[in-house]
Structure 1
Amino acid sequence: MTAPLIEILADKPALVQRALTLTVEAIHAAVADHGYCTLALAGGSTPKPLYMGLAKQDLPWDKIYIFWGDERYVPVDHPDSNAGMAKAAWLDQVPIPPDHILLTPTLEGDPAASASQYEAMVRAIFGRLQGTSSDQVPEFDLILLGMGDDGHTASLFPHTDALAVSDRLITVGYKGSDPRITFTAPLINHSRGVMFLVAGADKQTALAQVFAPDGDDQSYPSRLIRPQGTLRWLLDQQAVGDLDLGHLS
């Protein structure tokens, strides 16, 4: 793994604008390289204006495939649905083929079965795109991630069983008793690119631990994200505060 690329932006709007530029560049680069782009989306409030910005771009929609790095176990029309937010802000506004939008199944009543179903869907799509067997680990072009004030990312929460899953691509992550479907750390780490979007003063404590040389992966799961490709952190000034990141440069 190469060193992370860290950019500190003045505020959240500047962070979103930078994320928009980088995401558009990644989409065009992937399409130019291998004819399609596989993009896994994050939930939460920070990416929403990014998605609204993407809705206004002129992109090769028929070559883009959309997935979710994690999803709450609710219907897509539920106000807490990550997919519902992205669809309303972006995907329903552009001519992307419906079968290129790989919604996470959340209606089975069995989160573990839903996780297995989504893994099979992901493997099948990548098998067709890459012309390879579906047992190979998919290599996403870009995975967007956020980070909670507890250091979690996707639905990989501190000191939960999902952190240790290495024999599956997708598993069930729990926030308390609330089940969520989530990419595992090994799947995220097999990607060509990961981009964290982190804004707000409430993230300072977690960021300090995530970037600490001797931090604890189990307590701050964002530390587990060490992709084979590019790891980029976009941080706003409030999230950084007076944190010294000089040891990472």
Structure 2
Amino acid sequence: MAKVERPQFLNKSEKPITVALSGGSTPKRAYDLLSKSEIDRSKIELYMVDERYVPIEDERSNEAMIRSALQLPIPLEEESRQDVGSLRGSFPLFPMYKPGGVAEAAADYNQLLRERVGKFDVVLLGMGDDGHTASIFPRMWPEIPLNEFCVA
């Protein structure tokens, strides 16, 4: 059985380690293992690689799957969705979905990533049976703008 070890770089870093998590079934086992690890959760910030434009209550939500696998709390309405993890002693997860439209949600997440992350320390991706990763399907490669973190 695999075991999640405490990476040595967590001891040396002053700023949080930024980790991008993919949706789908491929990485779910890794999330289960991470949820049981003794890693200092205050030293890690979680971001999402991809999301369907659905609220967290929808069974297709990648955020819901990630929260479930990592045993992260579901935020209450009055709590900020991005701060609820750190408020309750868990990993802070910065979700993609927000009401108002998919283009606005992508633009806001793009800005969040530019301001808070710059580049990720760790990116965990899965691969679908049809060859897609991060909601990008093989036929879409020519259409992806390379100067954006997040696209709708």
TM-score range, shorter chain: 0.7 to 0.9
Matched residue type, 1:116? A
CA pair 47-161 structure 1, distance change in 2 beyond 3 A? closer
Whether the aligned pair in 1 keeps the contact of 2:113 and 2:149 (CA below 8 Å) is no
TM-score by length of 2: 0.78
Pick the structure with more strand per residue. 1
The Cα of 1:164 is off from its aligned counterpart by 3.0
The Cα of 1:106 is off from its aligned counterpart by 3.7
Deviation by residue 1:178-226 (Cα, 9 ceiling, x = unmatched) = xxxxxxxxxxxxxxxxxxxxxxxxxxxxxxxxxxxxxxxxxxxxxxxxx
Whether the aligned pair in 1 keeps the contact of 2:20 and 2:122 (CA below 8 Å) is yes
1:113 — aligned with what? 104
- Aligned residues with identical type, % of pairs: 32
Greater than 6 Å deviation, 4+ residue runs = none
Distance 1:125 1:72 in 2: 22
Gaps of 5+ in 2: 74-83
Alignment of 1:107-146 (within 5 A): 107-108=99-100, 110-126=101-117, 138-146=118-126
Distance 1:153 1:48 in 2: 14
SS in 2 for 1:65: strand
| The structure with more radius of gyration | 1
Deviation by residue 1:150-171 (Cα, 9 ceiling, x = unmatched) = 2211011122267431121110
Whether the aligned pair in 2 keeps the contact of 1:39 and 1:141 (CA below 8 Å) is yes
Whether the aligned pair in 1 keeps the contact of 2:21 and 2:47 (CA below 8 Å) is yes
Distance 1:171 1:42 in 2: 15
Q: CA RMSD in A?
A: 2.4
Whether the aligned pair in 1 keeps the contact of 2:54 and 2:97 (CA below 8 Å) is no
1:75 partnered with 2:55: yes
Q: How many residues end up aligned between the 2 structures?
A: 138
The Cα of 1:111 is off from its aligned counterpart by 1.3
Matched residue type, 2:86? P
TM-score by length of 1: 0.50
